[in-house]
Amino acid sequence: MSANHEDAFFGLPEVWPRPAPPPGFDRIGEGVRIAGTVTLYRRGGDRRRGITLGDGVVLFDQVRLVVGDLALNHQADLVLGDRVWVNTGAYLSGEGGLLIEDGVLIGPGARILSAGHGIDGPPENIIDHALTYGAIRICRGAWIGAGASVLEGVTIGKGAVVGAGAVVTRDIPPFAIATGNPARFLRWRKGFETRDSAGAAGRLRKWLRYVMRRF
């Protein structure tokens, strides 16, 4: 591959899905870039599902991808759509099922955790509890900020922004900005708050009712 400005900027090799994806990947799209320090951990037995990367995906240094076992959870999957950028040090868990749609940005050190540990009842040691699972969906055009955590079973709406360091424990509406621990609605993205004001207001009211029921 001839060097060009873009290659020099990224410092990452281009990957083609031929003759076949490397072990652990079901599909790699065109123009994908994967840093040499990206690691893949495959948990479980023989029914492991591979990773699917759409066109133009970029995985920066020290990204960790975790693939689950279908025998343990039938939703185990890790799918990245087109033009998904995953920045340095991010951790993506597909054990409970993870779908990241087109055009999503994942910030440095972000953690997308579709699996956890049971905590109630015996045994006393958390390490001895079975894993818990909840599929995560990050919708098109969203941005997960640096150091943010997205926990099991959460959906991040289209074009939503999760602030740096936030801990997301429940769904975030489309075009919303959420910050804090636990993450809470801050405001709508400017320019999108009136695009569908009735729909946006309804989504916010529904979201707030859901939050209040949890307390």
Q: In this predicted structure, which of 6-10, 13-17, 158-162, 172-176 has the lowest mean pLDDT? A: 6-10
Terminal Cα distance for the chain, rounded? 56
Sheet holding 98-100, edge to edge: 25-28, 51-53, 78-80, 98-100, 136-138, 155-156
Total domains present in the chain? 1
Going by their DSSP bridges, the two strands 131-133 and 115-117 should be labelled as antiparallel
- With bands split at pLDDT 50, 70 and 90, how would you rate the model's confidence at 74? confident
Going by their DSSP bridges, the two strands 64-67 and 39-42 should be labelled as parallel
Distance CA 83, CA 97 (A): 20
CA angle 70/38/62 to nearest 5° reads: 115
Of the candidates 5, 74, 117, 129, the residue annotated as catalytic is 117
What is the extent of the structural domain holding 105?
5-213
208 pLDDT more than 60: yes
Read off the tokens for 94: 């597909």
Per-residue confidence (pLDDT) for residue 85, from 0 to 100: 98
Question: How many Cα atoms occupy the beta-carbon half-sphere of 173 within 13 Å?
Answer: 23
State percent of the chain over pLDDT 90. 60
Per-residue confidence (pLDDT) for residue 70, from 0 to 100: 76
Per-residue confidence (pLDDT) for residue 24, from 0 to 100: 78
**Active-site residue 117, yes or no?**
yes
Read off the tokens for 207: 């979201």
Instruction: From 110, 109, 180, select the one nearest 138 (Cα to Cα).
Output: 110
Domain of 185, CATH number, reads 2.160.10.10
Burial (0-12, 13-18, 19+ Cβ within 10 Å), 7: middle
Burial (0-12, 13-18, 19+ Cβ within 10 Å), 70: middle
Read off the tokens for 80: 């990245």
116 pLDDT more than 70: yes
Burial (0-12, 13-18, 19+ Cβ within 10 Å), 106: buried
